[in-house]
Structure 1
Amino acid sequence: MRRSSRDLLVEILRILHSAGFALYEVDSDYCLQIVAKKGDTKLLIKTTINVDNEKKETTEDLSSLATTFSASPLIIGSRAQRGKIEDGTLYERFNVHVVNLNTFREAVLHRRFPVAFSRRGGLYFKIDGATLKRLRMERGMSLGEFAAKIGVSRKAVYEYENSQMGATLKTVLRMEEVLNAGVTMDIDIFKWSYRKELPDKSPAGAVAKQLHYKLKKIGCKAIGFSYAPIDVHARTIGVSFLTDEENLDDDTLDRKVENATKIGKLLGVNPILITGSFGGGDLDIISIPIDDIRKAESIKDLERILNIDLTGHCTN
């Protein structure tokens, strides 16, 4: 029987709970559905049956959010346009790791990780470069001699030994036959390379755009989001903002605040609500009018404004 999206989500929550993760299920149509934390491991998870349905814009917000909070983004799905997501294999969607439910379960509950990853052209295996180099040298083979024995170029062997390139199954089998030892290594699906440069995107919403513009004008590095529980993150001072927009009804704003505050509690941050002239209502979150933010002429001014309202909790 084909698994539904809700079934997939429920099973992922069950697996994480069994492994002792603190969890929050996001109650809105954002770039993620689950936030999970255990020790130093922080996961931002999106679930989908067909991973090709995940658009570049939402996936970029997911990876930017992960970079912001030093978390690992993960998409868990069942199939893609080219076929089903195979067990024990790591895929990617716009530079975000993708696995199926079985691979996720094995990683979370048993610390058993994939050894293969999918790229255009087929499946590749991650090579333990240090082990490969040690085995080759112990057997007295030069780069060129070893390359000739396994049927690849000298440059390819150099890249294998420096963990810069994956190898096909055919090449792995040749290596292991020549060396009489294993040379592959697991791929930790929870280890993700944070993006050094984030997309310079303007957020959605009029108030959010004003906030984002003002932060950048005073020299504060800021990230804008369109599909995330927060609208703007000020990187320079480590503060996350959500905004009350004129078109939001009370119920929608309540859900937005609840999502941001509960995710913030799990990740150890204190989000701030920026309100427009229409007010932010009586909500359990620190609120600051956009007019106050407009008065800031420098980052120090901004910190002063936020410190007054945040009683010393302006940074995460």
Structure 2
Amino acid sequence: MADLHRFGDSRLLASVSAEGAELRSLRDASGEEWLWGAGQEWPRHAPVLFPIVGRLPNDTLRHEGRSYRLTQHGFARDRRFAWRRRAADGCGLRLEADAATLAAYPFPFILDLDWTVAEGRLACTATVSNPGPGPLPFSLGAHPAFAWPLPGTAAQQDHALTFPEVELDSLSARRLTGGLLDTAESIPLPGGRLPLHPGLFDADAIVLPDFPGRRLRLEAPGAALEMGWEGYGDLGLWSKPGGAGFLCLEPWCGTAAPMGWDGDFMMKPGVVILAPGAARSFSWWVSAERP
């Protein structure tokens, strides 16, 4: 049985597991579930992506002439975190480097996840710290899957994404081939909205490197979900090709490796480099709206 911590307020109730520090449930005051239930189409809820986002060529990290096997999205989502704090309003968890992580990723690190609910808003702050003697290269991403259609709404095609902070008539997107960053695509935004339908993801995820905004809204008649983030500079949108009852809204710092790149991990496009003793924090939040 999962080691869960439940917390919240009068408007939102969340559950987080020690396994992967993963959000497992997000219910509103009426008891409606806003998070995907990890069904057969995709068996996860909201994994933490670390120390990579996406894939490396041949699932191989190269550093100083050595090769390490590091598979898609890294290992944090499959590791048990230690509890640092458990309270009525949230929790804190930690993952530190050990022999197993060093065999795949040869860098000491500390990854802290802090979850809170306040005033009807769920927030997650991830802090990466470098306790080692050398530089720490990494990427980090959130991968929450929300119910699609939203609670109280009828059809997936009645939903749209809007980006309140920026005026855009199209999205400058990249698509994936074999999990690696490949072709560029311009996705139109009629009236500043991205109409949603399952076929949008037939070519897999929509990757938005260097996305200019820091907020989005998933809207449908009868409900809306708002998300914001800080520290993350890239954005991913994904649902299972062929259709499923979820939509992933993913703030990222880093993306999959580009097609044709296969160098030292320190030189990977988009990777963050932390100096010894340094730390960097990233946060995202979400709120649910119903009439």
Check whether TM > 0.5: no
Higher RCO structure (Cα 8 Å, ≥6 apart): 2
TM-score (norm 1): 0.23
TM-score (norm 2): 0.25
In proportion to residue count, which structure has more strand? 2
Q: Which has the larger radius of gyration?
A: 1
